[in-house]
Chains A and B, each alone.
Chain A
Amino acid sequence: MNALPCTIYISFLGALLALAAGMRSAATARVVALLTALTSCGVTLYAASQFVPSQGLQTLIDVPWIPQLGIRYHLAADGISLTLIVLTGIAAVAGILFSWNIEERTGEFFALFLALIGGVYGVFMSADGFTLFVFYEIAIVPKYFLIANWGSTNREYGAMKLVLYSFAGSALVLAGLLWAYAAAIAHGAAPSFGLGDIAQAATQFSRHEQLGMFALVFLGFAVLAGMFPFHTWAPTGHVAAPTAASMLLAGVVMKLGAYGCLRVAMPLFPVGLMFWQPLIAWLAIIGIIYAGLVALVQQDFKFVIGYSSVSHMGFVLLGLAAANTTAVSGAVLQMFSHGVIAGLLFAVVGRMVYERTHTRQLADLRAMPLHRLMPFAAMTFVLAGLASMGMPGFSGFPAELTILIGAWKTSPTWALVAAVGVLIAAAFTLRVLQVSFFGTTEGTAEPASHHHDHPLPPITWPERVGALLLIAATLYVGLKPDILLDWITPALQSPLFHAALKGGSL
């Protein structure tokens, strides 16, 4: 367990090494990046194997950082953190495998990528508000450069929009945290940014303080989680981003927002949660339905996936808003599940399809018999699509089921409307699946080359390995959700979440 913080340092170190290696040769930078990601992934898996869920939040390191403000470098992990850390490890490896073909400024690409990963690891381990915020922002800035430099359609616009939204969100978080910090001091507490300390002090805050702080912090984080109506950065950003960045963005970075909501906003300000709960739930539900409907009519393949991410993150937010153990554990499971699935979808769309066909327009793809030209990509997308639809057997299903159960406990209406979202998800996924990969059914006996003058380059080994890794992850969790739920549930039953989650045990 105590090795977990190493993932952060390994990633940052790897970023520097990749930068240096990139000056010499692109190939070295790739290998360095892959080794770095594999090492940190290995560390997370090792830590996971040592993990004892019943111990709750386990401190990994806790040293004074800026004593003048009561800031400590405090890293800790519980089952929720660990779930997301493992996700990050997997997504990082897969992302690097799917960026194997980056030739331009390779070293810088992987350096930024690893820096982003390092920040993400940091957020998932932080138990101090300041530490968390620092890592959170470290994860934001590299995104701009990743998208603006290596992205595609409208990349500078997409990158700027994404970063400004994220940063505006983090500004709200900062305001909320500082307010809580100052208020805690005003209520006689020692200056501290420790989340536990603030939570303790917050019990004495007045109602309007709790409402305000919760609104600021939750909204700030929810922007990054893609909450309607602050989600508009997500589709444009995802579409503009290079494949690996889309994978990370949808797969991991959006989880930062949701994680922040869960780890900071909810346990710190339970009174605020109770007040804002219906609003959040309805915004989440609107997000599920609205983004799903928008995805249903998109003409750009990647936009469909982009909006689907917003829709799926709506389930996460709904799970959080339902605020009982079942729903929240479902939300965490959905974070993991969506992280893997969205990564897979973006990998297929961005890397396998777009970089070979150079189009993402569904109308163009319809004319290509892609399932014959790229059977592996087609199979991958079918599996990813099924997983994304919440098909049982894949990780999305136990997650959505748990969220629906939890939401029902809090309000049957929410669950009912959200169930419509499941249907819409199926509709847009199937639509894009059949249009993009199974577009032409006529002339199936003809060889593929008749349709296409230049045969598409074959799917490379890094892509295959990356895809199989993610498919294995979603199947494994889908068939054995216990592996994660056994981590998550004890974490949610710990005293940290008592005030926020009233739902009792599963």
Chain B
Amino acid sequence: MSPDYLQLLRALYPEIALVLGALVALGLDLTVARRHTLEERRGMSLWIGTLAIVAAMAHVWLGSRGSVFGGVLMLDKLAVATRFGVLGLALLTLGMVRGARVLRHPAEYVAIILFATIGFTLMAAAQQLLVAFLALELASLSLYVLAGFDKTSPASSEAALKYFLFGGVSAAFLLFGFSLIYGVTGSIELGEIAHQLTVQHLTPLLIVGLVMILVAFGFKAAAAPFQLWAPDVYEGAPPASAALIASASKLAGLVLFTRLLWNGLGATSGSAATATGQPGWLPVLAIISGASMLLGNLGALAQTNVRRLLAYSAISHAGALLLGVIAVGAGSEHRMVWPVFFYAATYGLATVGAFGIVGVVDRANPGGCQRLTDLVGLYRRSPLLAGCLAIFILSLAGIPPLAGFFGKFAVFAAALQLGGISGPAGWLTVLAIAMSAVALYYYLLILKQALVVKPAESVQRIAIPPMTALTILVAAALIVVLGVCPSLVLSRL
């Protein structure tokens, strides 16, 4: 196994593009743009960021495939698709930034988004515990900063602090779990770990390690019962940051998690059938998934704050995504990863869109956009936003022909193939389907405010920057297109 640095360099072209973009943005902002207004400086940084991400996407598209650097990174179809996905979501996030309230230090904001994106792209491909951890922490640290970027708002700072504390603890858990795994198997390579575990019994030490990892990912994914930070962070963080946290971060984390669990720890999965199952991480995951769906959906019913509502919706979707992770085991030969990937990606699209619109409204309203009633009369203030919001929210609710529906559908179909409705994931699927009916209620509450409730007579139209409008439209169009023709993506997986 001879290290091939050139290959590594080629594989990391996207990341390099992102780093360069970040540096250029920072440098230009420090030198050329000092005299310009904040808005202009932000515009410039955003253009640079956009270029960098587009370049990275081009590299991902055209770049190499296969195992890199002796298996440290694995650029399989899933990794490529995930990298492409997170880059796309980050690109959309940048578009949304343009429509949101102007914050100080715009170049830094863009740069940190790019750094976080680097973390995501690495997570997508990591095949080794150490790289995985580093990528995850790079992303997380960037996100903590992004959450607290609105220094004028105490809520933002509180969000950042909470996020940081929870995130820090979970990082510790994760690291501890990783080291235990390493201790048990003597390797940090997923393939090697998998090989070792097939010959080992489930020792207490291993169980502790598994639990640690699950807890850590539970925190990261905002799954119940580790979801406490999510509503506060979504509420306090600037909308674009929340968009990134909810979308690209989730997609990357989920793919990493799936890889880790199935490729690395697959042998210890056990069975999700709670009564008869063998011990393993599947039952735990099933319980976390079920709890998230229950807690997220029921919690969302009581919300009057649109961002907290989206946070609870994120928790419930995390539950469904974990069901997707469980369902990966359905394909015995080749893992059924694509349903959960598709779900996460389209969920990300819809959330980016929703938070983008929240950001635009946030800037237009003197009082910001927090309560559901802040959306009143959106259909009059901006038909475009109202229409796109309907698409995003209905996609989150899982209404065909939008992409969110097909994601759910594919996940449920895969989960039921684990043995039908009485199979190991059957009860969870039924729960998920039932909960999707509950969810429609609170999603419709959002749309009711935006599309039904009549506003006061004098409402101001909302001005949307053209690029943001384009971004929102692209996101909405993608949701429709992916919903109608999911094969466009699936045929590449």
Q: What is the interface of chain A, defined by CB distance below 8 A to chain B?
A: 23, 65-69, 105, 108, 130, 133-134, 137-138, 140-141, 144-145, 148-149, 156, 160, 163-164, 167-168, 171-172, 174-175, 178-179, 181-183, 185-186, 209, 212
B38 at interface (Cβ–Cβ under 8 A)?
Answer: no
Residues in B whose Cβ lies below 8 Å from that of A163: 440, 444
Scoring A140, A168, A182 by chain B CB atoms within 10 A of each residue's CB, the highest score goes to: A182
> Which residues of B from 415 to 465 have beta carbons under 8 Å from A?
416-417, 419-421, 423, 429-430, 433-434, 436-437, 440-441, 444, 447-448, 451-452
Interface of chain B residues 384 through 441 with chain A (CB within 8 A): 394, 399-401, 405-406, 409-410, 412-413, 416-417, 419-421, 423, 429-430, 433-434, 436-437, 440-441
**Other-chain residue from B421, B448, B451 in contact with A175 (beta carbon distance below 8 A):** B421
State A182–B424 Cα separation when bound (angstroms). Answer: 13
How near does chain A come to B415, taking the closest CB pair, in angstroms? 8
Flag B187-219 by CB within 8 Å of A: 1 or 0 each: 000000000000000000000000000000000
Cβ of A302 to closest chain B Cβ, rounded Å:
21
Q: Verify B416–A178 contact, CB threshold 8 A.
A: yes
Q: Nearest chain-B residue to A149 (Cβ)? A: B452
Cβ-neighbour of A134 out of B401, B444, B452 (below 8 A): B401
Contact A183 B420 (CB under 8 A): yes
- A182, B410: Cβ atoms closer than 8 Å: no
Residues from chain A with Cβ under 8 Å of B433 in the complex: 171-172, 174-175
B394 adjacent to A141 (CB under 8 Å): yes
Q: A174-B433, A181-B413 are in contact. List 15 more A-B contacts (CB 8 A).
A: A65-B487, A137-B399, A137-B400, A138-B399, A138-B400, A138-B401, A144-B444, A149-B451, A160-B444, A172-B433, A175-B412, A178-B429, A183-B420, A186-B417, A186-B420
Interface of B, helix, strand, loop or mixed by DSSP: helix
Give the size range of B's interface with the partner.
Answer: 35 or more
Residues of chain B at the chain A interface (Cβ within 8 Å): 338, 379, 383, 394, 399-401, 405-406, 409-410, 412-413, 416-417, 419-421, 423, 429-430, 433-434, 436-437, 440-441, 444, 447-448, 451-452, 485-487, 490-491
Chain B minimum-CB-distance residue to A135: B400
Chain A contacts of B419 at CB under 8 A?
182, 186
- Of the candidates B401, B417, B421, B447, the one whose C-beta lies within 8 Å of that of A212 is B421
Which one of B401, B437, B490 has the highest number of Cβ atoms from chain A below 10 Å of its Cβ? Answer: B437
9 contacts between A and B (CB under 8 A): A66-B490, A148-B448, A171-B433, A175-B412, A175-B433, A179-B416, A179-B420, A181-B413, A186-B420
- The 8 Å CB contact of A156, one of B401, B430, B452, is B452
Contacts of B338 in A (CB 8 A): 68
Q: Is the CB of B400 within 8 A of A133?
A: yes
Say yes or no: A66-B487 contact (C-beta < 8 A), given A141-B399, A148-B452: yes
With both chains docked as a complex, state the minimum distance between the C-beta of A416 and any C-beta of chain B, in angstroms: 37
Verify A137–B437 contact, CB threshold 8 A. Answer: no
Contacts of B490 in A (CB 8 A): 66, 68
> What 5 A-B pairs have minimum CB-CB distances, sorted nearest first?
A182-B416, A134-B400, A168-B437, A148-B452, A171-B437
Q: List the count of A-B residue pairs having beta carbons below 8 Å apart.
A: 90
Known: A66-B486, A156-B448, A212-B421. A164 touches B412 (CB 8 A): no
Contact A171 B448 (CB under 8 A): no
Minimum CB–CB distance for B22 against chain A, Å: 37
Question: Are B444's CB and A69's CB within 8 A?
Answer: no
Whether A167 contacts B440 by the Cβ 8 Å rule is yes
Known: A137-B399, A145-B451, A186-B419. A69 touches B437 (CB 8 A): no
Give the CA-CA distance A167 to B434 in the complex, in Å.
10
Chain A residue at smallest Cβ distance from B342: A68
Q: How far is the CA of A212 from the CA of B423 in the complex (A)?
A: 14
Report the bound CA distance from A148 to B452 in whole Å. 6
What CA separation (Å) do A185 and B331 show in the bound complex? Answer: 12
Please, which residues of chain A bring their CB within 8 A of the CB of B485?
65
Q: In the assembled complex, which residues on chain B have CB atoms less than 8 Å from the CB atom of A178? A: 409, 412-413, 416, 429
Chain B positions within 8 Å of A67 at CB level: 487
* B447 CB, nearest partner CB in chain A, Å: 8
Alpha-carbon distance between A175 and B440 when the two chains are bound, in angstroms: 16
Centre residue among B401, B419, B421 by max chain A CB count within 10 A: B421
Cα-based distance from A65 to B486 in the complex (angstroms): 9
Nearest CB on B from A276, distance (A)? 17
Query: Do B429 and A175 touch (CB < 8 A)?
Result: yes
Contacting residues, chain B, for A168 (C-beta < 8 A): 434, 437
Chain A hits for B406, CB < 8 A: 66
Instruction: Judge whether B441 and A160 touch: CB under 8 Å.
Output: yes
Min CB distance, B414 to chain A, in Å?
Answer: 9
- A493, chain B: closest CB distance, angstroms: 33
By a CB distance below 8 angstroms, the chain A residues around B410 are 69
Bound together, the chains give a CA A65 to CA B413 distance in angstroms of 16
From B447, B448, B452, name the one whose CB has the most chain A CB atoms within 10 angstroms: B452
Q: What's the Cα separation between A144 and B430 when bound, in Å?
A: 25
Alpha-carbon distance A148/B405, docked complex (angstroms): 23
- With a cutoff of 8 Å between Cβ atoms, the chain A residues found around residue B417 in the complex are 182, 185-186
- Chain B residues, Cβ within 8 Å of A149: 451-452
CB distance from B145 to the nearest CB of A (A): 39
Q: Which has the most chain A C-beta neighbours within 10 Å: B433, B436, B491?
A: B433
A56 vs B421: C-alpha distance in the bound complex, in angstroms? 33
**Interface pair A145/B416, CB less than 8 Å apart:** no
- The winner among A138, A174, A186 for most chain B CB atoms within 10 A is A174
- In the bound complex, residues from chain A placing their C-beta under 8 Å from that of B448 are 148, 156
